[in-house]
Amino acid sequence: MSDRLDRYRSKRDFATTPEPGGGEAAGEEPRERFVVHEHHARRLHWDLRLERDGVLVSWAVPKGIPPDPARNHLAVHTEDHPLEYIDFSGDIPAGQYGAGTMKIWDRGTYETHKFRENEVMITFHGERLHGRYVLFRTRGDDWMIHRMDPPEDPDREPMPERIAPMLARTGTLPRDEENWAFEIKWDGVRAIGYAEGGRLRLESRNGNDITPRYPELRGLGPALGAREAVLDGEVVAFEDGRPSFQKLQSRMHLTSERTVRRLSQSDPVVYIVFDLLYLDGRSLLDLRYDERREALLELGLNGPAWQTPAHHVGDGARLLEASRAQGLEGIIAKRLDCPYTPGRRANGWVKVKNVRRADAVIGGWLPGEGGRSGRLGALVIGFYEDGELRYAGRVGTGFTQAELARIGGLLDERARDESPFAGRQPPRETRFVEPELVCVVDYSEVTNAKTLRQPSYKGLRDDVEPEEVGPPEPV
């Protein structure tokens, strides 16, 4: 027995760690018990331990026990643990092996069908965990764990690979406010969050994986633990307590891991979660908005870099006025009975804006004068209509010196000889570029010629394809 626990004991200082040293009385009748620990160590994982021959044979399972036979999960064979560990929970101090919080996720008994050196087949009888599973060695200490029988819930749905975000149309406050909920319109970038096995993956509106850009948001995965969820929200940067799309620019386009890590500390973002689309084997897309919101609130997602903001049923006019007083972009009105329609601009969600803002495609630029002589003076922008890029004006304000230099480099890389615009053309001195960049602008109104008046640059975005950018919706 001592030989089997030598490796376990050699890794621990029992004067420091509260973990058991191993000394359960000999002669106790062997039982087929198991425990699954949720281990919040440097990286969240689950530890599966099976009582066998006087010890707990153990595997670390990074993504947890798979509930569905469609997925296998890695299980890394670790050192045997003493039987007393089956009841252990607590905090392992920093500096000790496995430092972090150890919680009992489930425990119970199991039936043995096979228990071989390279294969273990058992049936769990726990509080959460039921069913037949097999663990099989692949190489070295790496094993896989597979569920052999169908899930207990025959209606269980696998987590979707991708859900396109639902979009809102532009409009005014609805008259029947009692049938609507109202939320602040966040000045950030849309992100769908996929949480599984204690890990979070973020996708932009156009399906790009943006997880590496925002490492401070990864903690949301461990906060959800073993729960499987698909969230809808926005990544937002705050300045003086208000969301700032311009400040977010410093984070949106980074590729250097070192710079990302540095800015995640100096200029952190927050993931504002406002909808729940899937939870633990069940799609919530067809539920009413208020039912999805209730399920979201029950998750309690409020942490150091993520929030579930309040929503207000009725009284949209008061929230709109409050948003205007605070210099915010506006609010979103959402019908209480509205289902979630992925990828569609539905009537059940309405943007009510204090500031007119639009995406625009950059098709060229004009050289500057005076202090900007020899470099970018104004962007030449347009919108797509019927598959053609139409000229919509020039944007010459809203730039910092650093942004002028950055955009200038991006435009030089995309230079072209011919105009990308169809129909009405921009000024003759325009330097044309490939229409690959999308910018965000504020403006006062749209003229009869479909030109933006008094546009002001707010930043570039890469979560929208240029061909998707149409003229601003009339209010």
**Active-site residue list:** 185
DSSP letter at 246? H
Contact predicate 404/367, CB 8 Å: no
Alpha-carbon gap, residue 204 to 224, rounded angstroms: 21
**Do the bridges between strand 55-61 and strand 90-92 make them parallel or antiparallel, or are there none, so unpaired?**
unpaired
Type of residue numbered 129: L
Alpha-carbon gap, residue 224 to 102, rounded angstroms: 15
Contact predicate 462/208, CB 8 Å: yes
Which sign does the torsion angle of CA 265, 62, 128, 103 carry?
negative
First CA to last CA distance, the chain: 77
Q: State whether residue 384 is helix, strand or coil.
A: strand
CB neighbour list of residue 196: distance below 8 Å, 6 or more residues apart:
63, 159, 228
Alpha-carbon gap, residue 340 to 160, rounded angstroms: 14
> Residue 446, Cα to own-chain centre: how many angstroms?
35
Q: Count Cβ atoms below 10 Å from residue 378 Cβ, excluding itself.
A: 22
Sole residue written with tokens 């996720």: 105
Which sign does the torsion angle of CA 465, 467, 471, 474 carry?
negative
Q: Which residues share a beta bridge with 261?
A: none
Q: ∠79-84-85 over CA atoms, to 5°?
A: 50
Listing DSSP states for 74-127 in one string gives: EEEE---B-GGGGG--EEEPTTSTT-EEEEEEEEEEEEEEEE-SSEEEEEEEES
Listing DSSP states for 186-221 in one string gives: -SSEEEEEEEETTEEEEE-TTS-B-GGG-GGGTTHH
Contact predicate 133/71, CB 8 Å: no
CB neighbour list of residue 15: distance below 8 Å, 6 or more residues apart:
none
